[in-house]
A and B are shown apart, each in its own frame.
Chain A
């Protein structure tokens, strides 16, 4: 079975902000990739409205923020990488 871990609920306040990338949105469940490359499940209702697959989010004390600039930068960089490898 895929290693899907529920998101840890209680994180100490002083711990650094966690970063996630949305791998896929399946109705109410959103699968996010954490910084270690593990996939975690998040309820769609916890995330900012209108998030899309591929968006990068940060989470601190249960508050999620869409990192629009970083998302665009990363999207652009990987798009270039894909183009460079295409026949």
Chain B
């Protein structure tokens, strides 16, 4: 304090102001002023819950992590999802992002980051040491430069704090040449007894290196790499992560058939509950340090449904017109016998197989 006037009154005012300021800094931090200084003021050491938001960005990835008013954003979907992610962040009260991570340079991961970086105050940016020649990648670099930010390269073993949670870098371990997926930044987020593993689009080769680097991989929640593609989630890797929940970030009826059937079967076999953004929209996981819950997902709409059992229905399909109908639809009855087939499964599966829903019965 550099006030030179030293009358008793001024000293008292100053002391009071200092106490108030100290209280404020210790208690509220960047948390919204509408939430009273409850938990931490009352000495709750553990602070607030850790929240991990798997934002629905269609076919792509975007994850917001929130702890004690600190935020980290991992990826932001395609370029046209930048605004979607930015407005989601606004609704969550984000003013400043402590970390922005672009897992790897594919546009379905980094596309929206330019918008986010330009819109929010950002403290640290992590990108793998691998360039890409697309305009969308160069625009991301330009946004980083325009904001006078620097890029931090990920090193396996490095740890960072986010409030009183932390995350450890687990990938990439080496130069993966032209395989951009394998360059993905992988991290393990830790709060109390709970942990989450997220590795972008890392494929089996990168998973092998993660298994070999000796860092812990066990997690309650795994964001399945590469949108649930069979290029990833090898048996050995799954053995080590051994999650209770598997989150899959993918778009409805995407062109790649993500998540792949083998992966859904693998999850079922391992009794891992699958949660998919194409079925549930944005998925929020909450950890109090000892237990992970998904408060917005009610029983019966999670694992079972996403694995296609609860959603299985009977349909009549026309192999000639490539339309599908409810069994009681009039056109289903008048269909030529040689084109007519019955199908048990989900609407999504049929659409993925190239079938269209009948416009009159709207199955």
- Interface of A with B (CB < 8 Å)? 1-4, 21, 23-24, 26-27, 29, 31, 33, 37, 39, 41, 52-56, 71, 74-75, 78-79, 81-82, 85-87
**Cβ-neighbour of B150 out of A24, A54, A79, A86 (below 8 A):** A86
B358 interface residue per 8 A CB criterion: no
A27 CB to closest chain B CB, in angstroms? 8
B256: chain A residues within 8 A (beta carbon): 26-27, 29
A71 with B133, Cβ < 8 A, contacts A23-B106, A31-B107, A85-B141 known: yes
A81 with B180, Cβ < 8 A, contacts A23-B134, A87-B150 known: no
A contact face: mostly helix, strand, loop, or mixed: mixed
B contact face: mostly helix, strand, loop, or mixed: loop
Contact B107 A39 (CB under 8 A): yes
Knowing that A78-B133, A85-B150, A86-B151 touch, tell me 18 more A-B residue pairs with CB under 8 angstroms.
Answer: A3-B78, A4-B255, A21-B133, A21-B134, A23-B106, A26-B256, A53-B180, A54-B132, A54-B134, A54-B180, A56-B133, A71-B133, A78-B131, A81-B131, A82-B127, A85-B144, A85-B145, A87-B150
| A39-B110 Cα distance, complex, nearest whole Å | 13
A54: chain B residues within 8 A (beta carbon): 132-134, 178, 180
| A41-B107 Cα distance, complex, nearest whole Å | 13
User: Considering the complex, which residues of chain B in the window 58-81 have a beta carbon less than 8 Å from any beta carbon of chain A?
Assistant: 58-60, 77-81
| A4-B254 Cα distance, complex, nearest whole Å | 11
B58: chain A residues within 8 A (beta carbon): 1-2
| A12-B44 Cα distance, complex, nearest whole Å | 69
Question: Could you pull out 22 A-B pairs where Cβ atoms are within 8 angstroms?
Answer: A2-B60, A3-B78, A3-B80, A23-B136, A29-B256, A33-B134, A37-B79, A37-B135, A37-B139, A54-B134, A54-B178, A54-B180, A74-B133, A78-B137, A78-B141, A81-B131, A81-B138, A82-B141, A85-B144, A85-B145, A85-B151, A87-B153
A2 with B133, Cβ < 8 A, contacts A24-B106, A31-B107, A87-B153 known: no
- Interface of B with A (CB < 8 Å)? 58-60, 77-81, 106-108, 111, 127, 129, 131-139, 141, 144-145, 149-153, 178-180, 251-252, 255-256
